[in-house]
Structure 1
């Protein structure tokens, strides 16, 4: 990537295919991208993606410089058939060194499966709203939290890092806008349970920057430190990058994204694709924020996967840099 000094407004000319860098010293110097393409991005694909292709996808993402790649989910195959090969996939990633490979575990059985394969980072998936908790987990919010409590405790006993996903943090397709204090309550419960990190999900992509700032401020006021917060934006209304910038301005340094913009949510029909990792990296590099990611390699990886899926990548950056047809 291009570099710049820390002087306000400093610029560095960029080679072809990279943005000019204009460093803003008010923003974090480095951002960790939590790549979700291999799990969240592929989980809704109707045609089964071969296990070997998934493994190569993850290896290519790591080779592009991504240090956190969410690998799969140990959910029952009945609910997410695309990820039914978790036991076959995870051992194929054993040669990756220095790359975090978190996996989603919905319950104690899922955790047992992850432990048996040597996973050391897991995630649980909660909801800020009753409607989505019912649709996704067939439980109330409190019942879902009660289900996760022994999962988190057991994971911590095994010294695993635990991430708490929280969906519908900004809007719900059944309930509409979600009150900030309602989201704060569930976030606080996940942290008190023992989660190391939270990921705030804009599952249907309705957040705007002011709403993002309000939620982050309220979380801080409730004792949730910014360094334990990640953000997960969907681009339904074209707001994902604007919302990410608002989070960066607040001090957030963990951002979820999906290579090529793959993914959505099987339980919320209005949820379109995740923020594309390439679009995020283009913006971050333009701001002089280090990601460790080679944008060219990342775009080539997403174009390769798009070929296997039989359609162009939704990412604008992938299309621009690889000249894919829309």
Structure 2
């Protein structure tokens, strides 16, 4: 039995429950490919799963390998796959959990080819965060060119993609962040950066067509006040509370990202055209996944955290 290294949990808890184990290398079935993983992204959902705070993953599913997105090389192709071949450089989402490992089996509809001007580390940082931003803006927020959008938490993993995607669409982009993040947010294409430590976004924004909220705390509920009638408040954290006067006549949405190779291919074209870039904050080796999760959870970081996987 051929084995691989993987970071797994057998119980919920703090980062000490993460284990580096040897498990069997999976085999691709119809419509799947086996990817030799080069790098894996670390996302907030990873430590929420580890803590038992992500309802779709209960104790009955343990043990599991963590990780939701990755970059790597196609190692083996299952039957019925014509769009990818062994040796292709690819990135994508696993459609569940399993990218903190040396290999993963992926459905082809969740995959896209990595742009030639991108390395594995930066590519791994893209799929979950960029697709979350894309789906928030366009699938759920229905953002169009010329509309006004406020992005709450614009310097983080999802936020820094959301600013760039909205700007590339031709929207008027307002974005919040702390003072140290303002310079980064400006370089991403925001028309107005709001330092929330110095000014209230309510004093700057009005008649927003869309607010995308990516931060916990009171900012989500305060966001109702700056939406126009018929505007949309989209959250990646929880369902916005609507029992308040300033929510009347306005819309809201909470969603979980869905893997889409088609969307990822569109994002790859924007990357290739240098309309979208990726900020990688720091990398950790696979064996240090616990430290990587702690860093992401306890630090207010710009950009993404990535695990490098050495075969």
TM-score (norm 2): 0.25
Q: Which has the higher helix share?
A: 1
TM-score (norm 1): 0.25
